Structures are given as structure tokens and as C-alpha cells.
Amino acid sequence: MNVKDKEFEVYISEAKILERTREIATKINEEFKDQDPLFIGILNGSFMFAADLMKAVDIPSEITFIKVSSYQATQSTGKVKELVGLQQNIFNRNIILIEDIVDTGRTMEHLITDFKELGPKSISICSLLYKPEALKADLDIRYVGFEIPNRFVLGYGLDYDGYGRNLRDIYQLKE
């Protein structure tokens, strides 16, 4: 399968993704029963995972979405990430962040630092994919769909240069 100039092959099928997503939701239903969690999906990549996960969550809960914007800071060489679009008051709430993939973990690390300043009761991470070999941050990922090797993936919300988010399965770059 070609997306733009690259060739990809199916890596995790839609059926497997849905099966694993339901298992995660079952755990969340048990562990957050009576906790009134606020799910926060990180756009754009998490939109499909968040939708399927929430269809299997059956406890009282809310969901909202935010974006992370990256910009080049004037005083530093590194990219600074900022959360955009959070409207809910998260003070004293149990937050579950829904992410498509944790790669180096830098995005999550920045987000958690920002969220902590807003005084939530707890923050948990739920990521569909996780590349342990790439991790450079000190992160505790409470719910992981699949641990994958350090290779580029797309589909099911994840893009290659803007394309491929609509694919039902997860694909891996063909070597």
C-alpha cells in the first residue's frame, strides 16, 4: 500500500485494535468506577482510538479534546510544546489522557507538566501504541494497547505528512 512516496504493509489489523481497545476500556471501567474521569484526547492522531475506546467505556465520564502546538522558542534551540483548547476546569478531576503513540515521550512529558499546574486529582496516560526503544522521558503509561518496535507506523488516526489517518488498520513502513 502506498501513501505519498512510501510503501507500507499492514501491521496491526482493525480487528486486533478493536479487541485490545475493548480490553483497555474494561480495565478503565473497573478502575475508574465512581471516579467521574475526564478523558482528554490529544488531536489529531488520537481521534479514532478515542472514539472506539469511548464506545466501550460505560461508566459516567466526560471527554474533551486538545491540540498540542509546537513552536520554535525564541530563546532556546528546542521546540516548545503547548496545550491548546482546554476549556474544562480540571481542578480535582481524574484525568485520562488519550494518545495515539508515545515515541520519545517528550510530548507527554510537557503536557503532564502543564496539566499538573491546573491541580487535577490524578493524571493517567492511555496510549494505543508505545515504542519502548525510543522512550527518552520518565513516564508511567498506565494503559498501553501495543508495544511496538522503533519503526514508523501510520493509519487508524496516525499520519504520514498529513495522509493515511483514515486507514482502518495500522501499517508499518516497508523496509
Site string for ligand 5GP, 28-67 (x = CB under 6 A): -----------------x----------------------
Query: Who contacts 97 (Cβ-Cβ below 8 Å, separation ≥6)?
Result: 40, 42, 108, 111, 112, 115, 123, 124, 125, 126
d(CA 36, CA 61): 5
133-161 burial by CB neighbour count: b if 16+ within 10 A, else e?
eebeeebebbbbbbebeeeebbbbbbbbe
- We find the least distance from the C-beta atom of residue 50 to ligand 5GP, in angstroms, to be 13
Q: Which three cell numbers stand for residue 133?
A: 526503544
Question: 83 has which bridge partners?
Answer: 68
9 burial via Cβ count (<10 Å: 0-12, 13-18, 19+): exposed
User: In terms of CB distance, is 41 or 105 closer to ligand 5GP?
Assistant: 105
Q: Is 161 a catalytic residue?
A: no
Pick the catalytic residue: 103, 114, 159, 169? 103
Q: Could you say which of 154, 156, 169, 170 contacts ligand 5GP (CB under 6 A)?
A: 154
User: In terms of CB distance, is 33 or 79 closer to ligand 5GP?
Assistant: 79
Q: Which residues 6-25 are close enough to bind ligand 5GP by CB under 6 A?
A: none
User: In terms of CB distance, is 114 or 159 closer to ligand 5GP?
Assistant: 159
- We find the least distance from the C-beta atom of residue 165 to ligand 5GP, in angstroms, to be 9
Q: Which residues 91-130 are close enough to bind ligand 5GP by CB under 6 A?
A: 99-107
Note the residues at the interface with ligand 5GP (CB under 6 A): 45, 99-107, 152-154, 158-160
Q: Which residues are catalytic?
A: 103
